[in-house]
Amino acid sequence: MDESQFKVLKEAVFVSYPHLTQLFGKSIEEIGTEYKVKDGDTPRTLIDTNVERSILAEIKLSGEFDDYAINAEESGELGEGQKVLYIDPFDGTSNAQIKLGMSVIGVSVAERGVLVGSVVLNPFEEKIFYAEKGKGAYFESLRFKYPFPLSTDLKANSAKERFAWVDAFFNKNTTPPKLEWIRRMQESSLIQNVRMTGSNIDYSVKIAEGRGHYQLTDAVGGYFDLCGYNLIEEAGGKMFNLEGKQPTPRDQVVAAVANPKDLEQVLEITRDCYKGYKGFR
């Protein structure tokens, strides 16, 4: 990726912002909620489809990604290739129905199966976050447009100080291993505090910002849920699958740590809890 491409992605998520704010807080009927059976009855609204359409239009108009395949969550795969853009137009859709401002817009870039870039917009905090492999992670205020470096929290040294952001999707498949994971993390004195607000991408942003210490996602639907990977990695943390490697779209479970020294312990707990896990669907 080059600087002009990153600029396009930042602009694409920014111009989609009004499509979200115009509908957020409206009634379920007004936002047109429907449920995707093949994706475990997860919801889709007009926010998702309108934001995605806006992002795709901006990217196409720029011409900067003509040689990239595009995999957008709502419209599906639009091409194939070694370089792919993954677009999650509104991660944390369920929050719109209860007017909870805890959702984000995310775009990630993969080249030859390796995640190399992330751009995430938090419309409620008016911040845009971005990272490129080997070049650091940053955020900007939508008002001031000045980059500030991101850094994970490496100083918290007791369970009372540390927080885990945990996937909020509960069903018969996810509930038993998820609750076991929380219990094991507490018994290991890694955490005392858990937060669930509905957006896995936002959880990754929180880790990269130093506003959390662990992340568990057990309803991974593809690279869409991994848009924060480069943010965490470039800010000093680690995100990994059950093999301890970079997550891929085939993975059902992903964890992250703010401090890399915790990786092996958290990986062992996660493997034990999700042994034999068939996925959330």
Q: Using 50 as the pLDDT threshold, list the residues of the chain that sit under it.
A: 37
pLDDT value of position 35: 57
Q: How far apart are CA 201 and CA 16, in angstroms?
A: 17
Q: What percent of the chain has pLDDT over 70?
A: 94
pLDDT value of position 37: 44
Q: How far apart are CA 70 and CA 82, in angstroms?
A: 11
pLDDT value of position 34: 67
Residue type, 14: F
Condensed to tens digits (0 to 9), the pLDDT of residues 155-209 reads 998 999 999 999 999 999 999 999 999 999 999 999 999 999 999 999 999 999 9
Edge-to-edge strand list for the sheet holding 193-195: 193-195, 163-166, 214-217, 254-257, 238-240
- Set out the domains of the chain in order of their start, with CATH numbers: 3-149 (3.30.540.10), 163-273 (3.40.190.80)
pLDDT value of position 75: 77
